[in-house]
Structure formats: structure tokens, C-alpha cells
Structure 1
């Protein structure tokens, strides 16, 4: 690899100089090694995928999920780079190096807070409504903040000093919540996936995004080598590989998990898919009101998803392909894997492994590279048959796991825990008598965020707006933003168990001084 290649440039030009020892020689392999060595990566072993990792040894956590995404991403990238036509197209679009795709996959979940997506939603609400941070909290943006700013183990002690290509590949949603790029993708008639504003919060910016205002310089630098090759709102090819691999792993492995622990049951899944297949025409004839009124009856939820796909993804959705996908999932998941309960036997383990291997191979074989994809898709995507199959697999997970009342009960408690933890830490930060006894990590995060927001206020004051769109001005307001970002950074860096333990200590419930290290 030519070190003068702009894709191989590092955040800090001096970061590959003496004083810091890397074992690999390829710049992209160095990035992979730095990510794996990061404590932010190690903590993912204690962070929820769906159900809390603390008490469920059979379930995926964010670490095992990231390793599987990396495995799939590398396989996809090797296929693309090893095939003449797709390799040539990928090169024109900016490149597809397997090491870059793998590194991005390993890094893509670094920013996930305790309790997974539930923690992410809670911290976003707190960041915007309590601290007035217009760009709130987002797991993808937090991952980018970690690799460019808050992880101090790179040679410059500011981020990991990763190459341009890897930083760009981590940008799954290559825009900020509100400001970049200009024009912002939320203004497009049919925005990219994730760029639309939340239906219940108009005016708040994109639902998903990958950079806060404090990291916009790093964002611009990472995207610069791809100018003119891809649209400002498009993923790089390597980011698209990572995104596709994430979808594949998510669609398969969570179903495995909940089959293993007996949550995903044969009867309700069979009824839902079977009813739709047997009565698709009758269900399609129902008006939306009647469908909603009957939503608890089998087949209705799947029909509603089919209609939603037509609304959002008309570029690819096809009713015949959808029906074939439902049929395949019924044969291989319902009549196959779920037909027998998981009892820990050799046969059950082999059936689970065979299901995972078969589906992973099929979906990876369905990957294609497109020169002019839909705005709703990256340059790397799945063929229509496999795309519909992923949607059906994800539907089963959402309908029969995520929407369970017992999981909702559990998650409401976790949301309350995160909220209480933020309240307690914020109160500690504002207690002048206790300032000298703050955790050093929290103190350093406040100083870091204060420097960042002060710089933005001097150089790009138009970017500093509150959660309701008002300009943020004055020293006290800047300190308030910095305090909020620091608390959010601190809480987001904890594992599930650490979050519980820190709150117990702050609430006086711990029976002894809590000494387990909780700093990164």
C-alpha cells in the first residue's frame, strides 16, 4: 500500500512516526489492530445486543456481534475485490479493501451505550431535552467520536489516528443530524435510509447520523478523497459492505439466540407466516383501517409490513419476491429450525449451526455492486430475492421478540436506570464542594468537551443551536453543553453491569465502596 495514497492518510500526519509501536505494516491492518486493542472494543462484551449481556451467556453481545459482522464484511469485500467487473467498479467509486471493511465492521458498534438501542434512545432524549444538545446522542456518531476523539490510545492521544479510508467506512450514515452536508439529505424528496426526520419529532434533523458537530472537521477530512466519486450523502463502498454485513448478521444471529433460550416459538411464527401465505389476496384487499383493527390476528402484521415496504422501498419491493421470501423463511426457519425446541443436544446444536451457515452463505452470495443505486441503497446491496428474505427474517425478530411485553417491561426499567444515572452524575458535576473528587475520567471529558464547544463557538457559531433551534451563546451556555456531552460520553462508555454498579454507589445502595474500575 502506497502511504501517499489519500485513503491511507491518518488523522494526525505524524501518528505513524516513532514513539508508538504497531505490529503490522499495512496501514489498514494497523487500523484493525488498534481497534481490537481499544478498551472501547473490549467493553462491548458487557453491552446488550437485545437482552442484557450480564445474565445470558448463550446470547450475542455487542462484541460477538461485531466479530461476526467483521467476518461477513471481509468475505463480501474479498469477493468484490477478487472479481474483475465488481473490482473495477469499486475502484472507480473509491476502493474496496478487505482490511478496511473488516476494520470498519469491528468499529461500527463502539459507541453503543449500556442496554443497546434502548440506552441509545434514552440518552438521545436526555441529551436533547435536558442538556439542549441539538445533535443529541446517536450510536453511530458516538462510534465516530470514539475513534477520532475520546479514545486516547492513538499516537496523538486524540482518537486512534485511523486512516481516512477506515474513518470514512465507519460513516454508515454519512451526514450530521442537522448541518452537513449542504444541502442536507433530509431535504431530498426521498431521503436515504436513516436520513428522514422522525415522524414524531419534525424539525429535529435526521433520525440516524454518523457525526456530531464536534467531529465535523474529521468527517470532512475522511470524506475528502471520495469527492466526485460518490454523492455527498452516499456511503463509501467499504461502508456499504459493512452496512450490508451488519444487516446479514442481525437478521440471522438474533433469531438463533432466541430459539436457543426458548423465546422464539414455533406456533405463533408458523401461524403468522402460514396465514399470510394461505390468504395473501384476501389480506391485500383489506383497507388500512380494517387491517389495523385486526392486527392481532395472524398474517395481519406481515401484510402491514408488505404495505410499508411498498411505501418506503418501491425501488426494489416486488410482491412475488416477497411471497417467495416468506415461503423460504417458513420452510427453513419455521418448519426447519423451530420445528424442534432447543434442548442442548448435539442434534440441536448442529441444526442451529447449519441454519446460520446456510443463511449466511446464501445472503453473502446475493451481494452485488451497483454503479447507480437507488438513493435508499448503497453501492453494495443484496439481490432482490435475498433483500426480501432479510426483511422477512428481521420482521420475525421484531414481531416475536422485540414487541414482547416482558421485554418491554425489562427495558422500561433499564431506561429509568439510565435516566437516574445521568441525573446523579450531573448533580455531582454541579456540586462545587465535591468537584475535586470527581472521577478523573469524567473531569477529563468535561475539559475535552468544553474545548470542543468553545472552538465551534469561535469558528462556526452557526452550528451551535439548541434542541429547539435557538442559537447557543455565552460562556455559561457553552459550559452547559460541555457538561451534558461529558455526562453522555461517560455513561455511554460503561457496560451494562458498570451502569448498574455506578448508580448503586451514587444512590447509597452499595454495601461497600465500589472499587471496580469503571473508566476507559
Structure 2
């Protein structure tokens, strides 16, 4: 497909064509510009990546993460587009335009709420259990809702009016939690990554998804140009590039962050990787019960190897896994982590070597498959690089995310978000205060009410939740709308806004509140 062709369905917008304020003639460059100008992108500078940067400038936040993902994604797309041997396959699959990929990468985290993935989990529980929203909350679906519905830069003040290609590229998991497509990918014998239901929550739908029921029409229109080229549940090539770039950036820069602040220590990481290398056969011989109860360094890495076999048998290879452990130990542990970060030129140069070298190596390992397994998109890392990313992500999870001090911090954030949602919901229920609600919150209630009322008339089955019955009556529609509006409102705050807004609502903040973006 030639993206410059005026009749290319990939260029289709929902509401119109080029806007008078667009600076670029290319529709995909215009999409990128619209996303860059969005306040929802700017707010990511105040949203946690893993732990709060606290204004230090040392740690990545969601904005700097998104910029790095966009950088890596564009590099991958340009390499693929420049390969003449890939051109027929990429055209057959629907295209791979670097501008589309970059725009999608910039937009992919717009929906992340305060406090990162912890906030996502908390808002999902509240959305499903307190507000009975059938599809709860999901950061990827929230991103799609922002670019199609909540942002106000489009001609109808509804979304950014992006092209079909960019909207489709934002759909990392192109299905709803429960509602579609049909058959739902969670029902496949080997579901796509993220499509399966959580083992401890049967009947709740896919664990990851990129569209709420309120945006199903936008999803259908965005995916229309790819009909007959890709299964309904398969990522577009451009979404697959963005997804891989996200993995690459996450695997590298989060490790850098925690070495900078002294959280990622040489000794425990070295022991975990080194002892497993020294006794691969011994660890492999442990029965599951022994392994589960073992605290010996190396046991967690062996558990990862077994999980990869169970989950990704199409790719995992024991020799490639061992080679990845050896490379990560040599270049991360024995090189980068062996010297505590002290802000010196030498320490910064070590960071530069590690980051640039690994990014180039992983980008060079990107491949395109004509017929990938259901667990993968058409774009994926070669075998060696895939295993290396798994080991890098393991180090991050095992030695950062599972730390008790981080858990303590996050439990407080979870309580804060829960209290904030409850306070805003109670404010909406107070009929004596209806005229003094934040205007953004009122607008979000009106928007969600129109959406749910329309679904109740034309697609009531999409609103079936835990009760097994669609909502009936104006009060039920109002309750859904109020819940979605509160979730939308809280999800659009920065970490600091969430903290100070709760302080104000709790009477702990004596300063006059004047944040116009919130009010």
C-alpha cells in the first residue's frame, strides 16, 4: 500500500480530513503532531514509570519512556521499510510506515493512570467491583479511548481524529475484554499474548485488551483497511513494531534507572545468574515443589526458564536461554553493575555504552514473519535477542518490582487512589453540590451517559457484566456513566495532582486549589 495515495483507506479519519492547524501535509505526520500537542502526552511527565522520580530528573517517567519507545520504533520501521526483500510481504500485511509507527509509540501510554501499573490494577478493581463496568479499566484501552473520544482536538471535539492506520497501530491487543471480536481470541486453543483470562479470575475476560465497549465502532473502522490481510485478533505490522520497541526500551532503561539510585545491586544479581550458570543441570533436576520452596540463588531464574517453556514453547530454547544469561551477566552484572553509580564521567559513559550497545543489538534482531504463531505478532525479535529480553526483564522484576520497600510504597498509593475515587463518587451523588462539580468531571459524565445510553439501545449485550444481565433503566445507565467518568477523570491526573486533590477533598490541604486542568 502506498501511504501517499489519497484513496488509501489507511488514511481514513472518522470525522474529516486535514485540519487547518495541521503543519504537515502527510496525514501520518499530522497525526504525530496532534499527539505531541495533546495535554494527555504532556501529563505523562508527571506519571510514574515504576517509582516516582520525585522531581530528580534521574528516573524515567511515562513521557521519557514514550519518547524512547518512539525513537526505537521509528528506527525499526525505517530498517524494515528500507529492505526491498520485505516490501512485498509488508504490503501484503497492510504496510509499515515509520510515521505511523512513531505516532502510535508516542500514544501508546497516554492512558496510564497515576502511579504506573499499580494505579492500573487499582482502578480496574474499582471499576469492576464498585461501578460494575463490564470491561473495568485497562491502560491500553484508556489510551485508545483518549485518542478517539476524550481528547478534544478533533473537529467534533471528540478525540484527535487520527487516521485509521495510526489508530490501528495503537491497538496492541486488538480486542475488548469480553465483547469482541467474535470468536473472541481468548477462546483460541493457544490465545494471543494477553488474550487469555487470568487463571485466578475465570469469567472476567482477557487480562489485557486495547478497546472498551464504548469504542468498538472506532476499532472496527480503524481495522477495516486490514480486513482480509490479518485475522481480527492479530496486531497490524505497525502495532507489532511499536510493541517490540516498548519491550526493548522497558528492558534497558528501567535497569539503568535502578542502578543510578542504588536499588539494583551487583551482588544479588551476580549470585542469581552465576549460580544458575554453574549448576544448570542441578536446577533442571529439581522437582516443582523443591523449586517453589527454594530460596537458593538461581532458583528464580530456573523458574523463569520453566515458565517460558510452558508459555512460549514455540520460541524458547535452553541453549539460547543459557547464552542470554551469560551475555546479561557479562555486560550488565560484571560491567555496568560492578561499579556503583557515582555521577562521574566514567559512570555516565558506562551507561551510554550499555544503553546504546544493547538498543542497537536488539533493534538489529527484529525480524518479520509471514505466518507467526498466535503468541506473536508478525514482527518479533530473533531467537537470541528474544531470550536476552526475557532475562533482562527477569532481572528488573526479581530485583526491583518484588522488593518489600517498593510494595510498602505502592500499598499507600493504592489506598490513596481508592480514597480519591470514593470522594469524587460521593461528590457526584451530592445533589446540593451538583452545580459546583469540576467542569471536566461533569463533561465526562455527560459523554459517558450518551455512550452507555446508545449501547443500551443498540448493543445491550456489550454491557453485560458480572450479573449476567444488561443494565436496565435510567438509573442503571446513570450509574455506569458516573463510574466511567470518575475513572476517566482520575486516570487523567498526574501523580502529584492525585495526591494534592485528595488532600483538598479530605480537608488536609489549606492552599486554595487552582489547577485548571483538573477543575
Query: Does the TM-score normalized on the shorter chain lie above 0.5?
Result: yes
Partner of 1:5: 8
Partner Cα distance (1:506, 1:28) in 2: 42
Q: Is 1:445 equivalent to 2:429 in the alignment?
A: no
The one-character-per-residue Cα deviations of 1:63-120 (angstroms, maximum 9, x if unpaired) are 0000000000000000000001222211110000000000000000000000010000
1:357 and 1:508 map into 2 onto residues whose CA distance is 48
After the TM superposition, list the runs of 4 or more consecutive aligned residues in structure 1 that deviate by more than 3 angstroms: 53-56
Report the Cα distance in structure 1 between the residues aligned to 2:238 and 2:92, rounded to whole angstroms.
13
Q: How many angstroms apart in 2 are the aligned matches of 1:285 and 1:56?
A: 46
Give, in angstroms, the shift of residue 511 of structure 1. Answer: 1.2
Deviations 1:148-173 (A, max 9, x none): 00001122210000000000000000
How many residue pairs are counted as aligned between the two chains? Answer: 516
Please list, as runs of the form range in 1=range in 2, the aligned pairs for 1:370-519 lying within 5 A after superposition.
370-519=369-518
Distance 2:443 2:17 in 1: 22
Structure 2 counterpart of 1:144: 144
SS at match of 1:487: helix
- 1:286 is aligned to 286
Instruction: Indicate the SS of the match to 2:421.
Output: helix
> Match of 1:99?
99
Deviations 1:407-464 (A, max 9, x none): 0000000000000000000000000000000000000000000000000011111111
Aligned to 1:299: 298
Q: Would the aligned equivalents of 1:16 and 1:155 in 2 still touch at CA under 8 Å?
A: no
Contact 1:31/1:162 (8 A) holds in 2: yes
Match of 2:84 in 1: 84
Who is 2:273 aligned against?
273
In the TM superposition, 1:92-491 aligns within 5 A as 92-294=92-294, 296-491=295-490
Give per-residue Cα distances to partners, 1:167-222, cap 9 Å, x unaligned: 00000000000011100001011100000101111000000000000000000000
- How far does residue 21 in structure 1 lie from its aligned partner after superposition? 1.3
Which of 15, 18, 42 lines up with 1:16 in the alignment? 18
Distance in structure 1 (CA, Å) of the matches to 2:466 and 2:409: 29
Aligned-residue offset at 1:500: 0.3
Contact 1:498 1:518 in 2 (8 A): no
Contact between 1:54 and 1:497, CA under 8 Å: does it hold in 2? no
Matched residues in 1 for 2:377 and 2:471: separation?
Answer: 35
Q: Is the 8 A contact 1:127 1:485 kept in 2?
A: yes
Does the 8 Å contact 1:134/1:469 carry over to 2? no
Q: What is the CA-CA distance between 1:323 and the residue it aligns to?
A: 0.2
Task: Give the SS at the match of 1:368.
Answer: strand
In structure 2, what is the Cα distance between the partners aligned to 1:143 and 1:85?
34
What secondary structure does 1:414 align onto? Answer: helix
CA RMSD between the two structures: 0.9
Deviations 1:460-512 (A, max 9, x none): 11111123433211111000000000000000000000000100000000012
Give the C-alpha shift of residue 11 in structure 1.
1.6
- Helix, strand or coil: the match of 1:505? helix
Q: 1:15 Cα shift?
A: 4.2
Following superposition, the deviation at residue 56 of structure 1 comes to 3.9
Q: Secondary structure at the match of 1:112?
A: coil
**C-alpha distance in 1 between matches for 2:69 and 2:319:** 29
CA displacement, residues 24-52 of structure 1 (integer Å, 9 cap, x when unaligned): 00000000000000000000000000001
What TM-score results when the alignment is normalised by the length of structure 1? 0.98
SS at structure 2 position matched to 1:85: coil
Contact 1:111 1:139 (C-alpha < 8 Å) held by counterparts: yes
Check conservation: 1:31, 1:103, Cα contact below 8 A. Answer: yes
CA deviations on 1:321-349 (whole Å, 9 max, x unpaired) are: 00000000000000010010000000000
Residue 44 of structure 1 is matched in structure 2 by 44
Compute the TM-score of the two structures, normalised by the length of structure 2: 0.98
Q: Secondary structure at the match of 1:53?
A: coil
Which blocks of at least 5 consecutive residues in structure 2 are unaligned? none
Q: Is the CA contact (8 Å cut-off) linking 1:134 and 1:468 kept in structure 2?
A: no
CA–CA distance in structure 2, aligned partners of residues 469 and 412 of structure 1: 32
What's the secondary structure of 1:335's corresponding residue?
Answer: helix
CA contact (8 A) 1:28 1:163 kept: yes
